[in-house]
């Protein structure tokens, strides 16, 4: 039983969240593979809410690799990696990720959230009490939480503003423990100004950390992410976080970096030390997905073709999307209630487009977030834009 007085307080908070148009509901998806056309409760819907950017979560070869590994390894890892959970499959994937990212080593984590916590807490911990962490104001919550949980002083520079970062670093009595930024910002779809950030960090002697969750597999000539997009050397950043739950279509995360960084994380990162290792079958699925990413560029080409088509057709319909170079295409509505109503109206017409509202985004910037994938057809994109234009004209 909840303590007396807790339940009424919680109900009051939930009611206020509903009144503000900020209440969130989980939309149930039928038990089918992730794909653009999904079975809905009342009718099929076209899914524009997924981060499965290359459509690989439905690839039968990945499912087969996982099935084969289940026979060989069983269902779970059984323990944390430093106990008995580190298998040859884990070691092989780490080697392949390090080669793919052009770094000395890589280390697997259960989630991107835990990877970010592990890196920030470890590096901030080297500075002891009073450590400072500088971050982009629109960074993912896991990066912000990493600094908070590390009990560091958090400095947040203006979004994608390298000059503001420079001014803030110059005002500090000593360099911060690190600077951290998203590579691709998950709710805005824009790309961090990495060349300028890297130059500032080198000048100040500060390690730079990048969360490349939404850049890996999407950006760059070979899908190696934001660093390749800008033709930067992997050595220009101290730590790079990537996830398997976006373009690679599965689950889990990793940190890529130099030998000393990775070994320090193995010894000190609590979010790595004290959690069960990823299931070996999942690891084998990621290895197959990474192979497909390396060897089959047509998936990425198809995705970017869809992004270009989306931009052209949105302009033709006078829709004011942000027109980013990534699969994330936000349409700023502003009012949270109106945004939620538009999302519901689109779903009723067969299009799943999430309403993103505060606190995920700043007050007054509620938006529809369209996520494009390689699996979408031009016809589906056109139909979504036609429907959205019609709904907006009515409001």
DSSP string covering 148-184: HHTTPEEEEEPTT-HHHHHHHHHTSSS--SEEEEESB
- 3 state SS of 232: coil
- Closest C-alpha to 147, from 121, 167, 169: 121
> DSSP assignment of 329-383, as one string?
EEEEEE-HHHHHHHHHHHHHTTEE-PEE-TTSS-TT-EEEEEE--TT--HHHHHH
Fold classification of 26-51+297-394 (topology level): 3.90.1150
Q: Is 326 exposed, middle or buried (0-12, 13-18, 19+ CB in 10 A)?
A: buried
Tell me the per-residue pLDDT of 244-262, one tens digit each, with 9 for 90 and over: 999 999 999 999 999 999 9
Mean of per-residue pLDDT scores for the chain:
93
Report the topology of domain 60-295: 3.40.640
**CATH 3.40.640.10 residue ranges in the chain?**
60-295
Query: Do 343 and 355 meet the contact criterion of CB atoms below 8 Å apart?
Result: yes
Q: Is the pLDDT of residue 220 over 80?
A: yes
Indicate whether 144 pLDDT > 90: yes
Confidence of residue 35 (pLDDT cuts 50, 70, 90): low
360-386 pLDDT, tens digit per residue, is 899 999 999 999 999 999 999 999 999
pLDDT tens digits along 113-129: 999 999 999 999 988 77
Tens-place pLDDT, residues 275-300: 999 999 999 999 999 999 999 999 99
What stretch(es) of the chain map to CATH 3.90.1150.10? 26-51+297-394
C-alpha 94/C-alpha 103 separation (Å) is 11
Residue 102 scores a pLDDT above 70: yes
Both tokens assigned to 59 = 């690839």
Is the pLDDT confidence value at 82 over 60? yes
């Amino acid at each position: 039983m909840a303590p007396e007085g807790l339940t009424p307080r919680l109900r009051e908070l939930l009611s206020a969240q509903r009144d503000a148009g900020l209440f969130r509901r989980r939309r149930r998806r039928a038990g089918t593979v992730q794909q653009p056309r999904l079975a809905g409760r009342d009718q099929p819907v076209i899914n524009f809410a997924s981060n499965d950017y290359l459509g690989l979560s439905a690839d039968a070869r990945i499912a087969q690799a996982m099935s084969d590994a289940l026979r060989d390894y069983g269902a779970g890892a059984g323990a944390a990696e430093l106990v008995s959970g580190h298998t040859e499959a884990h070691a092989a994937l780490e080697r392949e990720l390090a080669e793919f990212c052009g770094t000395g080593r890589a280390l697997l984590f259960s989630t991107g959230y835990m990877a970010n916590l592990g890196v920030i807490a470890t590096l901030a911990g080297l500075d002891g009490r009073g450590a400072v962490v500088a971050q982009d104001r629109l960074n993912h919550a896991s990066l912000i939480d990493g600094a908070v949980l590390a009990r560091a002083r958090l400095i947040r520079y203006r979004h994608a503003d390298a000059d503001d970062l420079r001014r803030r670093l110059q005002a500090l009595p000593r360099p911060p423990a690190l600077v951290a930024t998203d590579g691709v910002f998950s709710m805005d779809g824009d790309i961090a100004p990495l060349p300028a950030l890297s130059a500032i960090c080198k000048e100040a002697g500060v390690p730079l950390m990048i969360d490349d969750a939404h850049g890996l597999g999407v950006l760059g000539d070979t899908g190696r992410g934001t660093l390749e997009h800008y033709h930067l050397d992997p050595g220009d950043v101290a730590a790079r976080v990537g996830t398997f739950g976006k373009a690679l279509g599965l689950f889990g995360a990793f940190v890529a970096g130099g030998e000393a960084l990775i070994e320090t994380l193995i010894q000190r990162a609590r979010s790595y030390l004290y959690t069960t290792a990823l299931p070996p079958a999942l690891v084998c699925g990621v290895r197959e997905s990474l192979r497909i990413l390396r060897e089959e560029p047509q998936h990425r080409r198809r995705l970017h073709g869809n992004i270009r088509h989306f931009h052209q057709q949105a302009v033709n319909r006078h829709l004011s999307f942000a027109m980013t170079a990534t699969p994330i295409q936000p349409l700023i509505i502003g009012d949270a209630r109106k945004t939620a109503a538009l999302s519901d109206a689109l779903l009723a017409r067969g299009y799943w487009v999430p309403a993103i509202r505060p606190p995920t985004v700043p007050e007054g910037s509620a938006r529809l977030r369209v996520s494009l994938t390689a699996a979408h057809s031009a016809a589906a994109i056109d139909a979504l834009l036609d429907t959205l234009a019609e709904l907006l004209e009515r409001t």
